[in-house]
Amino acid sequence: MTTYKEIFGKPVKFLSTDPDNTEAEGQIWYNSTAGAFKSIVALEAWSSASNMIQGRRAGGYAGTQTAGLAYGGRAGPGGGGTTNVASTEEYNGLGWSTGGSLGTARYQLAGATSGTQTAALGFGSSSPPNTITEAYDGTSWTAGGALNTGRGFSGGAGTQTAALGFVGYIPGSGDSNATEEYNGSAWTAANVFPRSTRQVGGNGLQTAALSIGGWGPPDSNLVDEYDGTNWTSGTVYPIGILDVRSAGTQTDALAFGGSSGPPGKQTLTAAYDGTTWTTKPSLSTAVTSGMSAGTSSNAYNAGGIITPSSTVTSATEEYNKSVNVITPAAWSSGGSLNTGRALGGSAITSGTSGIVFGGTSPYTGKTESYDGTTWSEVNDMNTARSYLSGFGTSTAAVGAGGYISPGGPQSAVEEWDGSSWSAVTSLPAARKSAGNCGTLTAGLIMGGASAQPYTSNLQTTTFEYDGTNWTTGGALPEAKGQGASGGTQTASFYASGVLAPGTRSSKTAFYNGSTWSEGADVVSTFSPSAGGLGSTGTTSAGLATNGSNLTNIYDGTAWVTAPNYSTARNRGMGGGTSSDALIVGGYSAPLSPAYRAETEEFTGETTALNLKTLTTS
């Protein structure tokens, strides 16, 4: 009988704990602690990821799953959108951020699909001017050499300095069989494609490109391969397909989505090894005309058109073939407050530990503590108020400032010791809706309003707390309130916020303990105000929510999109870390006196080895 050692060249190991690295894939070992044989098995699956900033279809694309690029396309309502866009979005594997805009808004443009996030190429268009070529350097687009044959709906491959454009639709003339090669400055005609068509899927290099499907009718299942000189036939795709998207190379490709004659938009995913197509796990949502990037093992599809009524989507799905189980970041329902409210203070350090206090329901001093499942009422504040700032932990917190009517903005401060509130040193000046972060002995509040009307009295002041006294710190670059804040007394951020009636800031200010400086703009301006006011995250890993259920994450360089929370609300309470946070209470959006009690819990993306216990049957 053949043994495991004879097959794999190594014996079954006896281990007391499971391996914690991917090199154990396919190996079998006996876990003496569990009394079972185990192995690590690779998984293949699509999973939901963060939405694009702007839903769009038929834009250009390039890059990888952790450094992707999508640009141009068509957005808006109606069958497939009605507005050509110039905006560019960059993907870092967690979410989308804003890049430089194309010089000319257009859709059904092609791209050098093997280009990178910092060296991309977009060319052509479905409507004049359609010979345009633009190159991206990671910041801005510049004009390049014009196509010889202006067209849209074409295929693309290659890199910024060695690109390939083929087939497409010429307005007024019909489908084209033209092939052109780009050297970084000019396009040159090459051997024509085997037929005139459009809406093919393309990937690979200028000297090793792949074309999939195309316009029929019926929709084509033909596959063509380019070697830098000639086109030859490859193995046909499993179905006739238009606007399929793909990632990888000519001999190691992944194709997905697209449109086919009835039933229409597709979820089909298939892998190509240069000879054979193999069906893979399907997309969760049937989609066509999206934007893609990556490899045959790690790819994504973003945007495109879904049903019903050819809706333009902003959704992103990621494909991963890995020995790791990847659980996407997500919001989930938690326990409800006993007293629904908005505009309270909070001291929340994680999804399982925190308090909220005060707020409008109407004015209240009620305090509730959270254990990850249930909110429990504890002792009230001494002074009922709303619009107050809070920081600290569930057993050592500060509630500062706030608002009552009559009376206006307040300067009173109270400390929480885990069982009761006590009055301590007041703020140097009254503040309403100021930002906040830090601990009971090293706290910070920033901005906010000193009097009514609110937007006419916004301040740039920073106040620092040492557990006994308040001192004035550096001034904010702009006066604002109701933003998203986080960090510590010596390393904090204050993002977005209200500037004046109808105007909102997109700026983020960073504090080093003495001075503020401006950094990356948020992706989603927090309007009408932050969804969950409170201290969430740090200057290298921040989290912010807005009143329209949008979430942004800060990675130390840029804000990117993150999964939306479920129930739109504004002026709620929040807190925690960028991977373990809460949002609770608030108003129903838009502003209306329908105070909410629901809690939502945010959990960041996690990765774990796919350990399997082997059994017999």
Residue whose entry in the numeric block shows the structure tokens 């910024």: 160
Answer yes or no: do 9 and 95 share one domain: no
**Mean pLDDT throughout 370-389?**
97
- Please answer whether residues 58 and 310 qualify as being in contact, where contact means their C-beta atoms are separated by less than 8 angstroms: no
Answer yes or no: do 502 and 407 share one domain: yes
pLDDT, tens digit (0-9, with 9 covering 90-100), for 581-613: 999 999 886 555 679 999 999 999 988 877 767
Q: How many CB atoms sit inside 10 A of residue 128's CB?
A: 12
Q: Which of 258, 288, 299 is nearest to 81 (CA)?
A: 288
pLDDT band at residue 169, thresholds of 50, 70 and 90? very high
Answer yes or no: do 317 and 384 share one domain: no
Answer yes or no: do 493 and 381 share one domain: yes
Both structure tokens of 167: 């087939």
Both structure tokens of 524: 């989603």
Tell me, yes or no, whether 613 lies in a domain: no
SS3 content of the chain, % helix, strand, coil (to 5): 0, 45, 50
Answer yes or no: do 57 and 29 share one domain: no
* Number of folded domains that form the chain: 3
Tell me, yes or no, whether 393 lies in a domain: yes
**Mean pLDDT throughout 313-329?**
90
Q: Report which of residues 15 and 231 the model is more confident about.
A: 231
Q: What's the rounded Cα separation, in Å, for the pair 188 and 72?
A: 24
DSSP state of 305: E
Q: What is the dihedral of CA 163, 164, 169, 174, to 10 degrees?
A: 140
Answer yes or no: do 556 and 443 share one domain: yes
**Mean pLDDT throughout 478-501?**
93
The CATH number of the domain holding residue 554 is 2.120.10.80
Look up the domain containing 22 and give its range.
4-41
Answer yes or no: do 303 and 387 share one domain: no
Q: What's the rounded Cα separation, in Å, for the pair 61 and 57?
A: 11
Tell me, yes or no, whether 575 lies in a domain: yes
Residue 78 has pLDDT above 90, yes or no: no
Burial class (CB in 10 A: 0-12, 13-18, 19+), 411: middle
**Mean pLDDT throughout 284-288?**
97
**Mean pLDDT throughout 271-295?**
98
3-state SS track over 368-435: EEECCCCEEEECCCCCCCECCEEEECCCCEEEECCEECCCEEECCEEEECCCCEEEECCCCCCEECCE
Q: Report which of residues 595 and 135 the model is more confident about.
A: 135
Both structure tokens of 187: 């396009």
Average pLDDT over the chain, rounded to whole? 92
pTM for the model stands at 0.88
Q: What's the rounded Cα separation, in Å, for the pair 385 and 404?
A: 5
Write the CA distances from 135 to 116, 130, 159, 163, 546, integer angstroms: 11, 15, 10, 11, 34
> Which residues are CB-neighbours of 319 under 8 A, at least 6 positions away?
44, 45, 46, 254, 256, 269, 280, 281, 294, 297, 298, 299, 300, 301
- The predicted pLDDT at position 525 comes to 53
**Mean pLDDT throughout 536-565?**
91
- The predicted pLDDT at position 40 comes to 67
Q: What's the rounded Cα separation, in Å, for the pair 22 and 155?
A: 37
- Please answer whether residues 305 and 265 qualify as being in contact, where contact means their C-beta atoms are separated by less than 8 angstroms: yes
pLDDT, tens digit (0-9, with 9 covering 90-100), for 444-455: 999 999 999 999
Residue 5 has pLDDT above 70, yes or no: no
Both structure tokens of 580: 């373990």
Tell me, yes or no, whether 193 lies in a domain: yes
pLDDT, tens digit (0-9, with 9 covering 90-100), for 21-62: 666 666 777 777 877 766 666 789 999 999 999 999 999 999
> Which residues are CB-neighbours of 506 under 8 A, at least 6 positions away?
496, 521, 522, 525
Residue 340 has pLDDT above 70, yes or no: yes
**Mean pLDDT throughout 395-423?**
97
**Mean pLDDT throughout 215-239?**
95
493 φ/ψ angles, rounded to the nearest 5 degrees: -135, 155
- The predicted pLDDT at position 13 comes to 76
DSSP H stretches of helix in 471-595:
none
Burial class (CB in 10 A: 0-12, 13-18, 19+), 2: exposed
Tell me, yes or no, whether 584 lies in a domain: yes
Tell me, yes or no, whether 597 lies in a domain: no
Q: What is the dihedral of CA 296, 73, 138, 64, to 10 degrees?
A: -10
Residue 572 has pLDDT above 60, yes or no: yes
- The predicted pLDDT at position 238 comes to 97
**Kind of pairing between the strands at 324-327 and 330-333:** unpaired
- Please answer whether residues 381 and 369 qualify as being in contact, where contact means their C-beta atoms are separated by less than 8 angstroms: no
Answer yes or no: do 525 and 539 share one domain: yes
Q: What's the rounded Cα separation, in Å, for the pair 346 and 391?
A: 6
Residue whose entry in the numeric block shows the structure tokens 């105070």: 595
Q: Report which of residues 221 and 310 the model is more confident about.
A: 221
**Mean pLDDT throughout 315-341?**
92
Answer yes or no: do 439 and 521 share one domain: yes
Tell me, yes or no, whether 504 lies in a domain: yes
Residue whose entry in the numeric block shows the structure tokens 């194309």: 102
- Please answer whether residues 202 and 110 qualify as being in contact, where contact means their C-beta atoms are separated by less than 8 angstroms: yes
* 1-6: long-range pairs with CB below 8 Å, 24+: 4/28
Answer yes or no: do 72 and 28 share one domain: no
Answer yes or no: do 438 and 576 share one domain: yes
- The predicted pLDDT at position 593 comes to 62
SS3 454: helix
- The predicted pLDDT at position 25 comes to 64
**Mean pLDDT throughout 307-332?**
90
- The full DSSP string for 527-544 is -SSBSEESBBB-SSSEEE
**At CA 249, angle to CA 244 and CA 252, rounded to 5?**
95
Residue 356 one-letter amino acid? V
Residue 600 one-letter amino acid? E
Residue 528 has pLDDT above 50, yes or no: no
Write the CA distances from 178 to 38, 231, 382, 480, 569, integer angstroms: 55, 12, 78, 56, 53
Tell me, yes or no, whether 335 lies in a domain: no
Answer yes or no: do 346 and 457 share one domain: yes
